[in-house]
Amino acid sequence: MKLDIIVPTFNESESIVEFLKVLKEELKGIDFRAIIIDDSADNTCELAKKYCKNNKIKNKIIHRINEKGKGSAVNTGLKELNAEYGVIIDADLEYHPKYILPMIKLLNKNDLVLSTRLRRDPVYRKLLGYFFKQFVNLLFGFNFDTQSGLKVFKTKPLKNFELRSKNWVFDIELIRYFFNNKLNIGFYKINYNTRKHGKSKIKLFTPFQMFVDIIILKLNFF
């Protein structure tokens, strides 16, 4: 079994080494490659290169200049896939790499497996999450957690696929592609951790921007 693991990063210098260490430990004995798409202004890229070299982790590290957006970074990573299975995961350890292999096992009956977050949020985040979920369900018919940052999938269906969403709502576009092509989608419950290092990339205006991006996605592409 071979895995290609897409890791979009933006100023994750405080977490990237720990992430790679945990990833290597959890995938011991597995033939995997870390595809890190880095848009950082800090030294995330240099730290990742050094750790991968010193610890013999197969890697493809692309440092992008003047390109931003998580969806855009993931799309760059998708173009680098050549393993049988692919993974998308954040580097902040909010999504623990220990869930990757159990989710991969579910690909024997599915083409895409989404993590479903078990989390304890303050009331305002629960309300935002509820309204966001209902909005997505209204426009796309997805009554589940579309924004969880850990996904595993078979790479063959994505051979000619290209994401058009540049920012946060790329998840919905990716899921919609599998759904429209009548491919099987599975789910796996995970415990969602709070970030230990660095700063969250979600700002005050991010939820509003996500709502706008969803409408644009619906009008332009679906």
Residue-number span of the structural domain to which 53 is assigned = 2-221
Q: What percent of the chain is helix, strand and coil (3-state, nearest 5)?
A: 40, 20, 40
138-159 pLDDT tens trace: 999 998 989 999 999 999 999 9
SS3 category, 127: helix
In the prediction, which pLDDT does 123 show? Answer: 72
More confident residue, 125 or 150: 150
Provide the mean pLDDT of the chain: 92
Report CA-CA distances (Å) from 56 to 28, 32, 37, 66, 147.
12, 11, 19, 30, 32
Per the listing, tokens 């993590």 go with 115
Q: What is the DSSP letter of 168?
A: T
Q: What is the DSSP letter of 156?
A: G
In the prediction, which pLDDT does 71 show? Answer: 96
In the prediction, which pLDDT does 184 show? Answer: 98
- Average of pLDDT values for 10-33? 97
Q: Is residue 69 over pLDDT 90?
A: yes
- Average of pLDDT values for 87-105? 97
Q: Are 86 and 152 spatial neighbours (Cβ–Cβ below 8 Å)? A: yes
Q: What is the DSSP letter of 221?
A: H
In the prediction, which pLDDT does 100 show? Answer: 98
In the prediction, which pLDDT does 199 show? Answer: 65
Give the confidence band of 201 by pLDDT, cuts at 50, 70, 90: low
At 96, list the tokens.
């623990």
CA 11 to chain centre: 16
Cα-flanking dihedrals φ and ψ of residue 63, to 5°? Answer: -95, 115
Q: Is residue 43 over pLDDT 80?
A: yes
**Considering its fold, how many domains does the chain have in total?**
1
In the prediction, which pLDDT does 99 show? Answer: 98
Domain containing residue 183: CATH number: 3.90.550.10
Dihedral over Cα of 44, 12, 175, 84: its sign: positive
